Amino acid sequence: MKKLLIAALIAGSFGGVALPASADVIVRTAPPPPREERVPEARHGYVWAPGHWEWRHHHHVWVSGKWLRERRGYVYHAPTWVERDGHWVMEPGRWRRGDRDGDGIPNREDAHPNNPNRG
């Protein structure tokens, strides 16, 4: 009886553990073109995250853009849909360290890491 009670308590404790959901969203339906959005004036200490399409309840739903608090040393990459093998994969928005000037060279290897005019 003791073993059964202990097993039930252990099994019950797993019900409270939140497992991470898969970040990959793969669908067969291409997202509609992005909507035109009015980008508000820049806010000091914030980065604009543009609106994007998300897949919810078996169809695409538009999510409006919003301001995100800036993270020093990081660059925000907006969510995007990518076609792979006839399916559409949602790559979620994320913060990444590195290439602040967008020239393809990581800042740690770039002699001029903040020069957006470099070609």
d(CA 89, CA 66): 22
Q: Convert the pLDDT of each residue in 32-46 to its tens digit.
A: 999 999 999 999 999
* pLDDT value for 68: 96
- For residue 108, give the 3-state DSSP assignment: helix
Q: In Å, how far are 13, 27, 100 from 42, measured between CA atoms?
A: 47, 34, 17
When pLDDT is averaged across residues 82-92 and rounded to a whole number, the result is: 95
Residue 23 has pLDDT above 80, yes or no: no
Looking at residue 43, its pLDDT comes to 92
What does the alpha-carbon distance between residue 61 and residue 54 come to, in Å, rounded to a whole number?
Answer: 5
Per domain, the residue ranges of the chain are: 41-102
Task: Decide which of 88 and 18 is more confident.
Answer: 88
pLDDT at position 99 is 64
- Checking if the pLDDT of 13 tops 70, the result is no
**What pTM did the predictor assign?**
0.62
